[in-house]
Amino acid sequence: MQRSFGINILQLLTLSSKASTYQRIFTFRHPKSNMVVSSSRLPNGTVIDIAQIDKINLAKLEFGNSKEIEKLRSAAESDGVFYLDFHGSEMGNLLFQQLGEIYYLSQQYFDQDEASKMKDIRSDQKSSQDRGYKSCETDQTFEMSYDELVKGDLYLPQSLQPSRHTLKYFSEICHNAALTMLRSLSTSHSPDEPFEKYHQKSKQNDSGLKLVYEPCIPKKSEVLENKHTDSGTLTILFAEQLGLHVQLADGSWGYTNSIPGCAIVHVADSLQFMSGGKLRSPVHRVTQPVDGFMKRYFLSYFLRPEDSFKEKCRLRD
């Protein structure tokens, strides 16, 4: 069920990434990248770069379409970021039926007072893990372990308890979509040592669904620099508003758009390592195109390799 998140029309027209809210001025292709960047104008006159990244269809990957697998390989090698199109996929259709409810749950959770959320800090996890509630100067997050959620071992806050089944189902679909992409990349890239061998169901790992609240702030100039790469295998991001800023192969930056029925996917460090550096883990950050406070929510699913792979990496270092 789709719900409103309290965004007024002025904010939507100013900050939304939907194509109808900005005017495309010109398009150019970076010589070192497959990525095309469109220079676009927001209603207030601000010009921003929108990265026109490749769109990969999940249903075609599920059916082993060789052209789509090659398209995925090319996107993962060149820019390391692409749209995953769920249209035509049965599990994709089911996922987007759940998406509105997950956004609503996220809003309800982060709207609680800080004292309530502090109870959800996980003191039983390693410093490298992101489970439970965390907050910093720029954002608040709540991550749910895939293993714990599927097994029924995960403690959920009271506001999320009634939707345990929905969260579990949504996570399972994201996890399976990520594994489909991983198997497709193995087919085209590493058939002798498939990437999925490090993502066995029976092995402990840190994959999980993360709810993120990272609002736009009054002054764009005061947004803290947060550029980074992700440490896992693949990241699937659902974003209804402008925010994700990706570095292109030539060092310039472009915003990713919000396309109905699609998520943004990027390669992360572990997969780059597995591929011997052939697949690209792109530097990215969360920022905003213009001044103005606005609540902003993201949903991220992180496919991460089993713990034994991380130990293997440490031994190689």
Q: Residue 49: inside a domain, yes or no?
A: no
pLDDT (mean) for 139-168: 94
Q: How many domains does the chain have?
A: 1
* Residue scoring higher pLDDT (191 or 187): 187
- pLDDT recorded at residue 6: 34
Q: How far apart are the first and last CA of the chain?
A: 48
pLDDT of residue 311: 65
* Domain carrying residue 151: 54-122+133-316
SS3 assignment, position 249: coil
| Residue 87, φ and ψ in degrees, nearest 5 | -60, 135
* pLDDT tens-place string over residues 90-121: 989 999 999 999 999 999 999 999 999 999 99
Domain with residue 297: its CATH number is 2.60.120.330
> Does the pLDDT value for residue 27 go beyond 60?
no
Q: How many CA atoms lie within 13 A of 164 on its CB side?
A: 13
| 235-284 residue pLDDT tens | 999 999 889 999 877 777 899 988 999 999 999 999 999 999 999 999 99
| Lowest mean pLDDT, pick from 62-66, 224-228, 306-310 | 306-310
Classify residue 29: in a domain, yes or no.
Answer: no
Helix (H, G, I), strand (E, B) or coil at 142: strand
Report pTM.
0.87
Residue 42 lies in a domain: no
What's the whole-number mean pLDDT along residues 301-307? 92
